[in-house]
Amino acid sequence: MSAEICLKRRTAPEIAAAKGGAPLVALTAYSALTARLVDPHADIILVGDSVAMVEHGLETTLGATLEMMILHGASAVRGSSRALVTVDLPFGSYEASPQTAFASAARVMAETGCSAVKLEGGRRMAPTIAFLAARGIPVMAHVGLTPQAVMALGGFRSQGHDEAAFSSIAADAAAVEEAGAFAVVLEGVVEPLAVAITARCKVPTIGIGASSACDGQILVLEDMLGFNERVPRFVRKFGALGEAADRAVADYAGAVRSRAFPGPEHVYRRKP
Name the residue among 14, 79, 19, 17 with its Cα closest to residue 45: 79
- Minimal distance, residue 186 CB to ligand KIV, in Å: 9
Name the residue among 55, 208, 56, 184 with its Cα closest to residue 118: 184
112 near ligand KIV (CB under 6 A): no
- H/E stretch holding 86 reads strand 84-88
Tell me which of 220, 221, 224, 225 binds ligand KIV, using CB under 6 A: 220
Name the residue among 232, 174, 217, 245 with its Cα closest to residue 44: 217
* Radius of gyration in angstroms for the set of CA atoms belonging to the chain, rounded to a whole number: 21
Closer CB to ligand KIV, residue 8 or residue 88? 88
Tell me which of 31, 50, 75, 128 binds ligand KIV, using CB under 6 A: 50
CA dihedral 164, 167, 172, 175 (to 10 degrees): -130
What is the rounded CA–CA span in Å between residue 16 and residue 204? 6
- Minimal distance, residue 24 CB to ligand KIV, in Å: 13
Closer CB to ligand KIV, residue 121 or residue 261? 121
Catalytic-role residue among 95, 111, 178, 187: 187
- Minimal distance, residue 187 CB to ligand KIV, in Å: 6
Q: Are 114 and 71 in contact (CB under 8 A)?
A: no
CA dihedral 138, 169, 126, 30 (to 10 degrees): -30
* Position with the least CB separation from ligand KIV: 48
Specify the length of the chain in residues: 272
Residues 191-210 that bind ligand KIV (CB under 6 A): 208
What is the rounded CA–CA span in Å between residue 227 and residue 112? 26
Tell me which of 218, 221, 224, 225 binds ligand KIV, using CB under 6 A: 218
Residues in contact with ligand KIV, shown as a per-residue x/- string from 8 to 47 under the rule CB under 6 A? --------------------x-----------------x-
Q: Which residues contact 78 (CB under 8 A, 6 or more apart)?
A: 32, 35
Residues 70-89 that bind ligand KIV (CB under 6 A): 88
Tell me which of 114, 183, 185, 196 binds ligand KIV, using CB under 6 A: 185
- The question of whether 55 is a catalytic residue gets the answer no
Closer CB to ligand KIV, residue 134 or residue 218? 218
Residues assigned a catalytic role: 187
Q: Which residues lie near ligand KIV (CB under 6 A)?
A: 28, 46, 48-50, 88, 142, 185, 187, 208, 218, 220
